[in-house]
Amino acid sequence: MSHTPGVRQAQKQKTRQALLDAALRLLAEQSLSSLGLREVTRVVGVAPAAFYRHFRDMADLGVALVEESLGSLHGMIRGILAERDGDDERIEATVLAVAEYVRTHPAHIRFIARERHGGVRPVREAIAAQLDRFTDEVAEAFQVGLEYRGWSAADLRMLAGLYVDHMVMTATAFLEAQPVRDVGEGAEGGAGADQGAGEGAGAGGMTEAERRIADLAHRQLRLVAIGRRHWHDG
């Protein structure tokens, strides 16, 4: 399409990303409908008018944040469901993956949880659409599994919806268990792993609060799995 990989476009996308990052950071302590355009540009260090070169308004930026937030998680879950089989193993892997994702991208999933029912229509709709796609994919992953003969498409989607909803709730529960982390991640890009001291351990370790939530989610998922197994015999 555009045959210009030039320095121009690169710089533009750089400040665009800076705007997204700044917004995400500010959204840790307020909701989108109260986030000001000037507030964002001030953090980035550009003039307020520059905002309009990238987004129509804050709602537009919000929709972009939805894609950024759910895009990667999307691929991740798909991978887990594909390569594992057996209920318990899948449950274990999923819960651990969600916990890890929340730890590495707290601001993103906080944003999703906050704006899922928030005050900005387009953002709500974008999130709903993404979660719907999620449900479709989970249902599809179930369908290729051997243990779902005799399940109608509607029942499969019902079950998938149950899992997706529970995943979202577990994620937000993990979030609330986390410390406040007043200064924003920074995360993405090449900046290297911040293996600071203190609490937040590496891949395996969990806070006590986190462990309790993981255990709860674990048991709830197991109960659902049992219900699924006996679905067709009264």
Partner DNA sequence: TCATTCAGTAAACAACCGTTCTCTGACTTT
Partner DNA sequence: AAAGTCAGAGAACGGTTGTTTACTGAATGA
Name the residues that contact DNA, by CB under 7 A.
3-4, 6-9, 11-12, 14-16, 36-39, 42, 45-54, 57-58
Choose which of 66, 81, 138, 159 interacts with its own copies (CB under 8 A): 159
Of 77, 98, 224, the closest CA to residue 162 belongs to: 224
- Measured between alpha carbons, how far is 41 from 4 in angstroms, rounded to an integer? 26
- Measured between alpha carbons, how far is 182 from 191 in angstroms, rounded to an integer? 19
Beta carbon nearer to its own copies, 42 or 116: 116
Choose which of 60, 114, 178, 209 interacts with its own copies (CB under 8 A): 114
Sign of CA dihedral 221, 223, 224, 229: positive
Choose which of 93, 200, 209, 231 interacts with its own copies (CB under 8 A): 231
CA 8: distance to chain centroid? Answer: 31
Q: Which of its own copies, DNA, none does residue 117 bind (CB under 5 to 8 Å by kind)?
A: its own copies
Q: Which of its own copies, DNA, none does residue 162 bind (CB under 5 to 8 Å by kind)?
A: its own copies
**How near is the Cβ of 115 to DNA at its closest, in Å?**
16
Does 158 bind its own copies (CB under 8 A)? Our answer is yes
Q: Which two tokens stand for residue 109?
A: 């999933």
Indicate the residue type of 109.
I
Q: Which of its own copies, DNA, none does residue 37 bind (CB under 5 to 8 Å by kind)?
A: DNA
Choose which of 47, 50, 169, 201 interacts with its own copies (CB under 8 A): 169
DSSP string, 63-106: HHHHHHHHHHHHHHHHHHHHH--SHHHHHHHHHHHHHHHHHH-H
Chain residues 11-30 in contact with its own copies, contact rule CB under 8 A: 29-30
- Measured between alpha carbons, how far is 174 from 100 in angstroms, rounded to an integer? 10
Indicate the residue type of 178.
Q
- Where does this chain bind its own copies (CB under 8 A)? 29-34, 110, 113-114, 116-119, 128, 155, 158-159, 161-162, 165-166, 169, 172, 176, 216, 219-220, 223-231
